[in-house]
DNA sequence: ATCCTCCCCTAC
DNA sequence: TAAGGTAGGGGAGGAT
């Protein structure tokens, strides 16, 4: 990612010139507090017209952010979000980082599987070169034996460090610590436990840390003595959401509201964790090895409401104050000490050189946000493709026979169910009636933990938590936040959002495992791939969660006649099973007829189950819930409800009139609640809203000494922001600078390590002053302006605790008119002839509905369709419902991905590919394994910019593959995409490919049956032509009206195009080649190529074929057909002669050694033939349509 | 009324 | 030692 840092344009001096005045003008509107900054601190809260203080209601709230972050029960979502297509998977560079370790583990697994424990020697440690340092708990001899016994290598000396992979030790002298600083120093437990577990465990979990006690495994209680002090310290577990608010609301204090309903889950540990229980835990040695009193199954719907919104620090000062001895203002000692040392500060705060990069790389929240955006883009594109395909499908819907396989086959259809229930997507009013919609809410169970346990099976069933702090790091005073807690850990009251020290107080033996962002993403892709194969519509909620509309899929299952009481639940189980097979992780699925209820159902389903919430049980389900258990309602609403309505229980609130609710919560919110109380939720799934802003902010580690540091940081932030904007090809006209400044009452160092502590927040929005043009993404401009805003506040730089920049009023970056931002466009540009087609200025922002309509009905899509026909704008009009557009999907990268795919997969893909352009042809292709080298045949971007573009294109492609149709394939490519972190992807060497292939094994994880099922579905969907005419116009709705969505005007259907008759006496293995209207051209070609695998193509055949192709192209309707055929031919050639694809390019006709027939010669001959035919077609196309053809 | 701006709030 | 980001819905209150 670093490589694509754009050279921010010239900040231009002219800008500078006008800058000042413009800036001043902007300032005027800011209306800063009248008094000096210092004075402002105190009174700020009140009377500030523009500069507002955030959360004026709890002026003393501590870590505001923390409060929000760890809020609610960590497991819901909602979001009617936006969507936007285009972001690519950023930051995945680091994703690949751990691949190696993972492979190692996998290998180990295989080894084990193969030999079992019976065989005296496993290969578990194969590849490891271990050196044992000093005295160790199991003696050196024992360890050595162990290592050797399991295939590892033992090094008695450390002479050649390079050859040693790991160092085992129980203690290190300071000198050694230094010496081994860059090596993997691990505790003996790593080996011991790996052997015990029968699998090589991640060494990272056993990193040796000096000063750490030697223990066989992490976690162990031990230093309980520190507990006391740490307790008075900062991070106290907080009261549950409900409890805390009760306290705050003085009046009806503690008793009733919430706490009552969850006596279950919230044993002493949960809700009341606060102080009393804390001391209890303190006790000593034996920490609870089992939850206080496992409440086991919560019965009430309110169930798991871990409503304790634990956060690292108390949510508000008010709460904090209620806790005796609690010190929200207690500084983090560690940080305090560090800050005293200039060198430390320089290395550990935002002034460090690559702070931003490092921070984002490790920020889970940043990743969550990024992933969400990416997934939304993915889904959006997939849907577009489906829509297009659907349009041309029309009749090949589902009914027909051929599904004996049962419903599963049909399920494979994926997002296109509308064919069955066309009105589904409509806006639905009365949509809420059961039977009308079937919504599923799918969510992984403790996602991060589950993902982490995939490679740590021995930890299943234990209280595990994911956080940065590992082992006994931080001891009992770690402020590291817990991202996810296993259900076993939750039994102790541990929750996501808590600090590790809080968790340890609840369960001293809690086990911590590190983040594995790469894996989360990989699993998520598998997850989404599977979901998409079953859904009519899908809304990406987060990396581990999605909302599905499976109405038609379920309807189909019903029609299939299969016996079942609950088809929806059956489907849910199918999905759960598939996801489990693919990821080894459990997902839970809530089903109901609207989003609200599906979410509630998930709560009941939660640990690894599915639950169908039916209309008749609505009441009993909802009544006992607390208002903040509804998605979208949080503790603020709970608070308001308590204050203004006297209750927070839905059953009670249901007695209130609509007006009362609105008065208390606001019009919209009140209305929403009113309906929710009755189980009504008319919200529709959202999957294609355009993004409205792009921002970037860091409120961690901000500790400046002077303005220079602040300014530098601001510019770095702007760089990052500019990068993000460029990535999606967007620019903005407005900017908002957000500043977090230490609250005067807060300590200089907050309790949370390097956190922002209690702050005052200032936002200043202003219009970007741009030298030329209306919008920008220029880091210089943004940075400069943002800095001026900050400077104008005149804050003491030492008091700053957070800085953020947000860009609004977005518009397309370069002139692209592409609906899909970024990548689409870049890819588009890459097309050789795209020449001008690109867009016309003006087409960009708004496109009349008519045009949209036109655009919308794109041709079918086809994921794997490499051809792109580019035609100039005017031509396009004339073609009327002409075909449209779509990006090619088999870009060169695809190619490499393709080659790296497992043989059987490739086979299926090819088949699918072929099928797509042809009528269903029952024909099994026997696949061959050539793992051709790759090196994409087509233009490969080489410059940095191009690289960027290429990357974008990849994403795009991948996205496409995610589509329902050929979903079986998507995964792999996706991975591949991720894997490719370097600019290398321009040209992929054979070796590299191979390597990548190994790495991206995600694909293999997809259950075969799923692949099959998906293919079956695709088969049905058969043809959707794959031709794509690239229209420079804005292909997609930027702002499309729902109605447009389903309009389907006439447009060519590739598969129905009658083949021009043509006969030729070609000879394929002594057979004749006949191209007729009814012939399966693809089959013929395949036989041809296959038959001549050992020979160069017959000249006459080539000519004839070429002629036929040209003919097709000339008869407009046949163009697509021709492209399909050509594409198929291309696939075949790559399959058999992939290596030579680009071979003949350089050496223009090498020295004719016609004498001997080499495979190289044959290959080149075939490619040459292909090139000739392609050129010929191109020529015709150019002449006829004025555009160009791009076959890839 | 309706729109716009500036937050707050929520979610993962 | 830790990595407290980020986008959108919606309310309040002023401008139109
Ligand atoms: N404040 C948050 C919320 C979530 N996450 C991460 C960790 C979670 O594993 C993942 C998914 O969030 P969920 O709310 O779905 O929580 P879990 O999947 O962990 O648990 P559950 O079983 O309740 O879904 O997102 C996080 O890091 N910080
Ligand atoms: Mg989850």
**Closest by Cα among A888, A890, A887, A915 to A901:** A890
Is the pLDDT higher at A787 or at A296?
A787
Residue A335 lies in a domain: no
Beta bridge partners of A901: none
Distance CA A389, CA A386 (A): 5
Question: In A 360-389, which Cβ lie closer than 7 Å to strand B?
Answer: 365, 368-369, 372
Task: Say if residue A607 is in the same domain as residue A460.
Answer: yes
How is residue A733 written in tokens? 């006209």
Q: Is A459 in the pocket of ligand 1 (CB under 6 A)?
A: no
Angstrom distances, CA of residue A723 to CA of A351, A565, A681, A717: 20, 53, 39, 10
Asked which of A59-73, A118-132, A219-233 is least confident by mean pLDDT, the reply is A219-233
pLDDT of residue A72: 55
Residue A478 lies in a domain: yes
Above 60 in pLDDT, residue A248? Answer: no
Give the model's confidence band at A435: pLDDT under 50 very low, under 70 low, under 90 confident, else very high.
low
Alpha carbon of A483 to ligand 1 centroid (Å): 6
Task: Say if residue A596 is in the same domain as residue A477.
Answer: yes
At which of A182, A197, A215 does a domain end? A215
Please provide the average confidence, as pLDDT, over all residues in chain A.
61
Distance CA A841, CA A774 (A): 14
Distance CA A197, CA A184 (A): 21
Residue A756 lies in a domain: yes
How is residue A921 written in tokens? 């042809």
- pLDDT average, residue stretch A383-402: 50
Is the pLDDT higher at A547 or at A1174?
A547
**Closest by Cα among A420, A1043, A956, A383 to A686:** A383
pLDDT of residue A194: 76
DSSP A1086-1136: HHHHHHTTTSPPPHHHHHHHHHHHHHHHHSHHHHHHHHHHHHHHHHHHHHH
Beta bridge partners of A484: A466
What is the distance, to the nearest Å, from the Cα of residue A532 to the centroid of all Cα atoms in its chain? 14
Angle (CA) A753-A214-A183 rounded to 5° is: 70
- Report pLDDT digits (tens) over A1125-1180: 777 778 788 877 877 777 766 554 444 444 566 777 788 888 888 888 887 777 77
Residues A673, A649: contact at Cβ < 8 Å? no
Alpha carbon of A1066 to ligand 2 centroid (Å): 60
Three-state DSSP at A503 gives helix
Q: Name residue, tokens 């794509």.
A: A1028
Residue A1122 lies in a domain: yes
Give me Rg for the CA atoms of chain A: 31
Give chain A's largest Cα–Cα span: 100
pLDDT of residue A819: 38
Task: Say if residue A465 is in the same domain as residue A572.
Answer: yes
Distance CA A955, CA A961 (A): 10
Task: Say if residue A518 is in the same domain as residue A655.
Answer: no
What number does the ligand 1 atom closest to the CA of A304 have?
A: 23
pLDDT of residue A1173: 83
Residue A108 lies in a domain: no
Angle (CA) A864-A535-A566 rounded to 5° is: 145
β-strands A439-444, A545-549 pairing: antiparallel
Report ipTM (2 d.p.). Answer: 0.98
Q: Is A310 in the pocket of ligand 1 (CB under 6 A)?
A: no
How is residue A78 written in tokens? 């909602």
CATH of the domain at A507: 3.30.70.270
Q: Name residue, tokens 């285009």.
A: A86
Question: Closest-lying ligand to the alpha carbon of A451?
Answer: 1
pLDDT of residue A1144: 64
Three-state DSSP at A731 gives strand
Give the model's confidence band at A709: pLDDT under 50 very low, under 70 low, under 90 confident, else very high.
very high
Q: Which domain holds residue A648?
A: 615-689
Measured by CA distance, the residue closest to atom 23 of ligand 1 is A75
Is the pLDDT higher at A247 or at A534?
A534
β-strands A610-612, A759-767 pairing: unpaired
Residues 6+ apart with CB under 8 A from A208: A169, A170, A172, A185, A186, A187
Q: Is A432 in the pocket of ligand 1 (CB under 6 A)?
A: no
Is the pLDDT higher at A66 or at A648?
A648
Q: A75: Cβ under 7 Å from strand B?
A: yes
Task: Say if residue A584 is in the same domain as residue A626.
Answer: no
* φ and ψ of A584, to 5 deg: 65, 20
Task: Say if residue A488 is in the same domain as residue A525.
Answer: yes
Distance of C1' in B4 from CA in A638, Å: 29
How is residue A846 written in tokens? 């708004």
CATH of the domain at A635: 1.10.150.20
How is residue A1116 written in tokens? 């407009």
Highest mean pLDDT (candidates A172-181, A440-449, A1057-1066): A440-449
Tally of CB atoms within 10 A around A659: 11
Measured by CA distance, the residue closest to atom 16 of ligand 1 is A75
Active-site choice (A193, A518, A545, A918) = A545
By C-alpha to C1' distance, C5 is nearest to A366
Q: Is A65 in the pocket of ligand 1 (CB under 6 A)?
A: no
β-strands A129-133, A153-155 pairing: parallel
How is residue A73 written in tokens? 């029960």
pLDDT of residue A954: 29
Distance CA A999, CA A109 (A): 16
DSSP A580-628: HHHHS--EEEEEESSHHHHHHHHHHH-TT-EEE--GGGHHHHHTT-BGG
Tally of CB atoms within 10 A around A179: 16
Residues 6+ apart with CB under 8 A from A956: A86, A381, A820, A823, A824, A827, A887
**Closest by Cα among A545, A518, A519, A574 to A375:** A545
Residue A365: nearest nucleotide (C-alpha to C1'):
C5
At which of A215, A238, A258 does a domain end? A215
Quick one: which H or E segment has residue A241?
A: helix A241-248
Which bases in strand B are touched by protein, i.e. have an atom under 7 Å from a CB?
5-12
- Report pLDDT digits (tens) over A864-883: 222 222 222 222 222 222 22
CATH of the domain at A141: 3.40.50.10190
Q: If you ran DSSP here, which 8-state letter would residue A275 be given?
A: I
Asked which of A188-192, A841-845, A1170-1174 is least confident by mean pLDDT, the reply is A841-845
This prediction's pTM: 0.55
Three-state DSSP at A554 gives helix
Above 60 in pLDDT, residue A1081? Answer: yes
Residues A627, A650: contact at Cβ < 8 Å? yes
Asked which of A458-462, A536-540, A974-978 is least confident by mean pLDDT, the reply is A974-978
How is residue A729 written in tokens? 């090809």
Angstrom distances, CA of residue A1153 to CA of A20, A80, A1156: 73, 66, 6
Residues A281, A23: contact at Cβ < 8 Å? no
pLDDT of residue A1117: 56
Is the pLDDT higher at A403 or at A939?
A403
The packing angle between helices A1081-1091 and A903-917, to 10°, is 140
Q: Name residue, tokens 């006994």.
A: A472
3-state helix, strand, coil in chain A (%, to 5): 45, 10, 45
Above 60 in pLDDT, residue A936? Answer: no
How is residue A201 written in tokens? 């465990």
DSSP A819-870: SSTHHHHHHHHHSTT-GGGS--TTSSS---HHHHHHHHSPPP--TT---EEE
pLDDT of residue A327: 56
Sheet holding A545-549, edge to edge: A537-542, A545-549, A439-444, A587-592, A610-612
Q: Is A452 in the pocket of ligand 1 (CB under 6 A)?
A: no
**Closest by Cα among A924, A923, A934 to A901:** A934
Is the pLDDT higher at A274 or at A899?
A899
Burial A1031-1055 (b: 16+ CB within 10 A, else e): bbbbbbbbebeeebbbebeebbbbb
Catalytic residue list contains A545? yes
β-strands A1062-1068, A1071-1075 pairing: antiparallel
- Report pLDDT digits (tens) over A50-74: 333 333 333 333 343 333 333 354 4
Give the model's confidence band at A1005: pLDDT under 50 very low, under 70 low, under 90 confident, else very high.
low
Residue A497 lies in a domain: yes
Highest mean pLDDT (candidates A129-133, A843-847, A996-1000): A129-133
Task: Say if residue A506 is in the same domain as residue A610.
Answer: yes
What number does the ligand 1 atom closest to the CA of A69 have?
A: 1
If one counts the domains in chain A, the total is: 5
Measured over the CA atoms of residue A541, residue A5, residue A953 and residue A95, the dihedral's sign is: negative
Task: Say if residue A728 is in the same domain as residue A647.
Answer: no
Task: Say if residue A761 is in the same domain as residue A640.
Answer: no
Q: Is A368 in the pocket of ligand 1 (CB under 6 A)?
A: yes
β-strands A511-513, A1029-1030 pairing: unpaired
Asked which of A156-160, A1070-1074, A1129-1133, A1157-1161 is least confident by mean pLDDT, the reply is A1070-1074
CATH of the domain at A715: 3.30.1490.100
Task: Say if residue A587 is in the same domain as residue A491.
Answer: yes
Above 60 in pLDDT, residue A700? Answer: yes
Distance of C1' in B7 from CA in A761, Å: 11
pLDDT of residue A476: 84
Above 60 in pLDDT, residue A117? Answer: no
Angstrom distances, CA of residue A784 to CA of A43, A689, A834: 30, 31, 37
Distance of C1' in C11 from CA in A665, Å: 9
Measured by CA distance, the residue closest to atom 14 of ligand 1 is A75
Which bases in strand C are touched by protein, i.e. have an atom under 7 Å from a CB?
1-12
Give the model's confidence band at A623: pLDDT under 50 very low, under 70 low, under 90 confident, else very high.
very high
At which of A614, A629, A646 does a domain end? A614
Residues A797, A707: contact at Cβ < 8 Å? yes
Task: Say if residue A652 is in the same domain as residue A527.
Answer: no
Residue percentage of chain A with pLDDT more than 90 = 33
Task: Say if residue A630 is in the same domain as residue A569.
Answer: no
Burial A202-218 (b: 16+ CB within 10 A, else e): bbbbbbbeeebeeeebb
How is residue A690 written in tokens? 């355009």
Residue A886 lies in a domain: no
Residue A311 lies in a domain: no
Sheet holding A185-186, edge to edge: A153-155, A129-133, A166-169, A185-186
Distance of C1' in B10 from CA in A958, Å: 31
């Amino acid at each position: 990612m670093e490589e694509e840092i754009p050279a921010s344009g010239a900040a231009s001096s002219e800008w500078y010139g006008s800058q000042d005045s413009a800036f001043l003008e902007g300032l005027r509107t800011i209306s800063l507090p009248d008094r000096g900054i210092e004075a402002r601190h105190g009174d700020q809260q009140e009377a500030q017209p523009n500069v507002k203080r955030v959360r004026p209601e709890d002026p003393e709230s501590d870590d505001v952010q923390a409060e929000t972050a760890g809020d609610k029960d960590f497991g819901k979502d909602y979001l009617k979000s936006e969507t936007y297509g285009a972001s690519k998977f950023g930051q995945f560079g680091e994703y690949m980082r751990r691949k190696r370790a993972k492979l190692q583990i996998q290998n180990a697994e295989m080894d084990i599987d193969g030999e079992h424990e019976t065989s005296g020697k496993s290969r578990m440690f194969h590849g490891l070169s271990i050196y044992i340092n000093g005295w160790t708990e199991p003696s050196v001899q024992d360890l050595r034996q162990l290592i050797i016994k399991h295939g590892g290598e033992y090094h008695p000396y450390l002479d050649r460090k390079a050859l040693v992979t790991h160092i085992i030790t129980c203690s290190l002298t300071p000198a050694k610590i230094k010496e081994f600083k860059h090596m993997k120093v691990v505790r003996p437990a790593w080996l011991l436990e790996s052997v015990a577990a029968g699998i090589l465990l991640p060494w990272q979990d056993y990193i040796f840390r000096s000063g750490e006690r030697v223990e066989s495994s992490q976690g162990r209680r031990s230093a309980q003595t520190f507990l006391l002090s740490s307790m008075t310290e900062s991070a106290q577990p907080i009261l549950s959401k409900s409890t805390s608010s009760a306290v705050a609301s003085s009046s009806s204090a503690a008793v009733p509201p919430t706490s009552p309903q969850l006596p279950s889950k919230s044993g002493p540990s949960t809700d009341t964790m606060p102080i009393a229980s804390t001391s209890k835990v303190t006790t000593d040695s034996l920490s609870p090895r089992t939850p206080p009193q496992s409440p086991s199954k919560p019965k009430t719907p309110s169930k798991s409401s871990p409503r304790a919104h634990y956060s690292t620090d108390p949510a508000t000062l008010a709460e904090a104050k209620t806790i005796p001895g609690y010190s929200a203002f207690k500084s983090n000692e560690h940080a305090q000490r560090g800050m005293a040392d200039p060198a430390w500060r320089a290395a550990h705060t935002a002034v460090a050189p690559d702070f931003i990069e490092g921070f984002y790389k490790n920020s889970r929240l940043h990743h969550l946000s990024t992933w969400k955006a990416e997934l939304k883009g993915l889904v959006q594109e997939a849907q577009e493709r489906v829509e297009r395909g659907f349009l041309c499908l029309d009749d090949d819907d589902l009914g027909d026979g051929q599904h004996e396989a049962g419903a599963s086959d049909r399920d494979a259809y994926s997002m296109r169910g509308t064919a069955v229930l066309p009105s589904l997507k409509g806006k639905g009013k009365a949509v809420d009636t059961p039977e009308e919609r079937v919504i599923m809410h799918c969510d992984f169970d403790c996602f991060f933990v589950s993902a982490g346990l995939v490679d740590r099976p021995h930890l299943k069933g234990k209280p595990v938590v994911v956080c940065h702090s590992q082992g006994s790091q931080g001891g009992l005073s770690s402020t590291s936040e817990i991202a996810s807690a296993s259900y076993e850990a939750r039994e102790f009251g541990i929750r996501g959002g808590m600090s590790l020290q809080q968790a340890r107080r609840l369960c001293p033996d809690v086990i911590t495992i590190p983040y594995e962002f790469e894996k989360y993403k990989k699993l998520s892709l598998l997850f989404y791939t599977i979901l998409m194969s079953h859904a009519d519509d899908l809304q990406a909620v987060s990396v581990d969660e999605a909302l599905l509309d499976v109405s038609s899929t379920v309807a189909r299952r019903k029609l299939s006649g299969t016996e079942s009481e609950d088809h929806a639940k059956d489907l849910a189980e199918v999905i759960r099973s598939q996801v489990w097979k693919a990821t080894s992780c459990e997902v839970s699925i809530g089903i109901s007829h609207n989003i609200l209820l599906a979410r509630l159902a998930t709560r009941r389903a939660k640990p690894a189950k599915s639950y169908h919430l039916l209309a008749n049980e609505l009441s009993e389900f909802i009544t006992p819930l607390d208002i903040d258990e509804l998605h979208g309602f949080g503790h603020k609403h709970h608070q308001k409800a308590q204050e203004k309505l006297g209750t927070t229980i839905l059953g009670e609130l249901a007695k209130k009139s609509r007006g009362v609710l609105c008065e208390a919560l606001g019009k919209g919110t009140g209305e929403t609640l009113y309906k929710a109380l009755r189980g009504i939720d008319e919200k529709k799934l959202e999957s294609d809203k355009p993004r409205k802003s792009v921002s970037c902010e860091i409120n961690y580690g901000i500790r400046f000494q002077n303005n220079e540091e602040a300014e530098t940081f601001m510019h770095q932030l702007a760089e990052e922001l500019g990068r993000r904007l460029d990535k999606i090809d967007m620019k903005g006209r407005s900017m908002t600078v957000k500043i977090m400044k230490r609250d005067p009452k807060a300590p200089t160092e907050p309790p949370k390590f390097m956190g922002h502590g209690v702050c005052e927040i200032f936002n200043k929005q202003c219009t970007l002053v741009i030298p030329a043009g209306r919008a920008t993404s220029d880091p210089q401009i943004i940075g400069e302006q943002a800095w001026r805003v900050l400077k104008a506040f005149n804050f003491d730089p030492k008091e700053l605790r957070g800085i953020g920049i947000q860009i609004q009023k977005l518009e397309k970056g370069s002139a692209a008119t592409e609906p899909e931002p970024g990548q689409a466009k870049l890819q588009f540009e890459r097309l050789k002839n795209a020449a001008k087609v690109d867009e016309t200025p003006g087409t960009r922002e708004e496109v009349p509905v008519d045009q949209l309509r036109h655009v919308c009905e794109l041709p079918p899509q086809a994921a794997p369709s490499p051809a792109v026909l580019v035609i100039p704008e005017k031509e396009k009009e004339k073609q009327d419902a002409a075909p449209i557009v779509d990006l090619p999907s088999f870009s060169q990268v695809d190619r490499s991905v393709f080659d790296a795919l497992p043989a059987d997969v490739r086979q299926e893909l090819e088949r699918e590919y072929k099928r797509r352009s042809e009528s269903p042809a029952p024909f099994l292709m026997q696949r061959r394994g050539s793992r051709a080298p790759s090196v994409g045949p087509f233009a490969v971007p080489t410059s940095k910019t191009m690289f960027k573009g290429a990357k974008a294109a990849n994403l795009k492609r991948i996205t496409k593959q995610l589509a329902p149709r050929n979903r079986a394939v998507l995964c792999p490519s996706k991975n591949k995409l991720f894997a490719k972190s370097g600019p290398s992807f321009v040209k992929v060497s054979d070796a590299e490919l191979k390597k990548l292939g190994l790495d991206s094994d995600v694909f293999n994880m997809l259950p075969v049956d799923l692949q099959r099922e998906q293919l079956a579905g695709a088969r049905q969907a058969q043809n959707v032509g794959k031709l794509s005419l690239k229209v420079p116009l804005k292909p997609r709705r930027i702002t499309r009206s729902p109605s447009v969505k389903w309009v389907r005007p006439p447009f060519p259907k590739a598969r129905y195009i009658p083949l021009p008759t043509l006969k030729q006496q070609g000879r394929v293995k002594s057979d004749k080649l006949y191209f007729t209207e009814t012939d399966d051209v693809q089959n013929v070609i395949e036989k041809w190529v296959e038959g001549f695998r050992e020979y160069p193509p017959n000249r006459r055949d080539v000519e004839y074929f070429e002629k036929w192709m040209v003919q097709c192209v000339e008869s407009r309707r046949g163009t697509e057909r021709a492209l399909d055929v050509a594409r198929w031919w291309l696939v075949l050639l790559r399959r058999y002669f992939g290596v030579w694809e680009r071979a003949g390019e350089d050496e223009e006709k090498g020295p004719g050694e016609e004498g001997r027939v080499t495979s190289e010669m044959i290959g080149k001959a075939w490619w040459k033939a292909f090139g000739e035919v392609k050129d010929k077609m191109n020529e015709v196309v150019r002449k006829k349509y004025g555009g160009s053809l791009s076959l890839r």
